Amino acid sequence: MSTTFTKEHDPVLARAAVVIPMFNEAAVIVDVVRTVRERFGRVVCVDDGSSDESPVLARAAGATVVRHPVNLGQGAALETGIRRALSDPEIQYVVTFDADGQHSVEDAAAMVRVAVENDVQVVLGSRFLGSMAGATGHRKALLQMAVRFTRATTGLKVTDAHNGLRVLRRDAARRLSFRLHGMSHASEVLSVIAKQRWTYVEHPTTVTYTDYSRAKGQPGYNALNIVFDLALNRLRAAS
């Protein structure tokens, strides 16, 4: 890859790549990429078949852009981005980050440091340890239910189940391959952590829900689709 690390980057963050899956995010992607670029050495945007100008804008804002020829799903986009990031042997940590601007770059930077200091394979962002500005009451209740479900099914003592902000150390990122290509990948990550006994810690994050992110977010009933996906995936994996 041709991107060079600028001197002002923290050496730890210069060896971290931020992967941002995007699907029709032209309204926000420039700001998101610029903000992330201020702290991180590498930003990989995976365009999941957008029909707008997202890929052009992201590239102009300084991101490496990989374009899926057709829409494959958010999980698939993350995996593509992770693979692209790891093709550079310098990269030691991969950060997964949402394109809609709901995550904080400072949180992401802090999480990479936490990963280094604690020598863990995964750092998971948690809205429940941190805060979620602008979330509706029933969204919080739904997320709580998802947490309880995740704790019961994976045995992990996590406080958040579907936060898109995570840090993966190179060895963990390399072994991550999704069977669920759509929105259920977030739960799949947790079941992989549980199954392969990866070391992890949680870190408080601030998630800001805007009208934009709320409109882009999944409808609440999609939680049931995720439950179906997970149940089937688990039963099939047992064979």
Partner 1 sequence: MIIKLLLVAGLAAAAFLLLRGKRSPLGLLMRRSLALGAILLGILAVLFPGLVTEAANAVGVGRGTDLVLYVLCVTFLFVTIAQTLRITALNDRMVELARRQALLEAELHERENSF
Residue from 13, 76, 132, 186 touching partner 1 (CB under 8 A): that is: 76
**What CA–CA distance (Å, rounded) separates 69 from 169?**
28
Contact with partner 1 (CB under 8 A) among 35, 50, 54, 64: 64
Tell whether residue 113 is a contact of partner 1 (CB under 8 A).
Answer: no
Q: % helix / strand / coil in the chain, to the nearest 5? A: 45, 20, 35
* Region of 4-12, 69-77, 96-104, 190-198 interacting with partner 1 (CB under 8 A): 69-77
150 is a site residue for partner 1 (CB under 8 A): no
Beta bridge partners of 45: 20, 65
Phi-psi label, residue 99: left if phi above 0, alpha if psi -120 to 50, beta otherwise: alpha
Residue 93 DSSP code: E
Among 33-41, 72-80, 103-111, 123-131, the segment contacting partner 1 (CB under 8 A): 72-80
51 touching partner 1, by CB under 8 A: no
Cα separations in angstroms, 44 against 47, 65, 94, 133, 217 = 10, 6, 10, 27, 21
User: Would you say 74 or 104 has its CB closer to partner 1?
Assistant: 74
Binding string, residues 196-225; x marks residues near partner 1 by CB under 8 A: ------------------------------
Query: Closest CB to partner 1 among 1 and 145?
Result: 1
Query: Could you say whether residue 83 binds partner 1 (CB under 8 A)?
Result: yes
Residue 83 vs 103, nearer CB to partner 1: 83
Q: Binder to partner 1 among 129, 133, 145, 232 (CB under 8 A)?
A: 232
Query: Distance between CA 113 and CA 117 in Å, rounded?
Result: 6
Given the structure tokens 């969204």, which residue do they identify? 139
Q: Does 37 bind partner 1 (CB under 8 A)?
A: no
| Strand-pair partners of 131 | 206
DSSP for residue 47: E
Q: In whole angstroms, give the CA distance from residue 184 to residue 203.
A: 22
Which range binds partner 1 by CB under 8 A, 9-17, 65-73, 143-151, 196-204? 65-73
Please select the residue that binds partner 1; options are 32, 58, 61, 66, rule is CB under 8 A. Answer: 66
Tokens linked to 52: 């707008």
Most distant pair of Cα atoms in the chain: their distance: 51
Length of the chain: 239
Binding site for partner 1 (CB under 8 A): 1-2, 46, 64-70, 72-73, 76, 79-80, 83-84, 87, 179, 181, 232, 235-236, 239
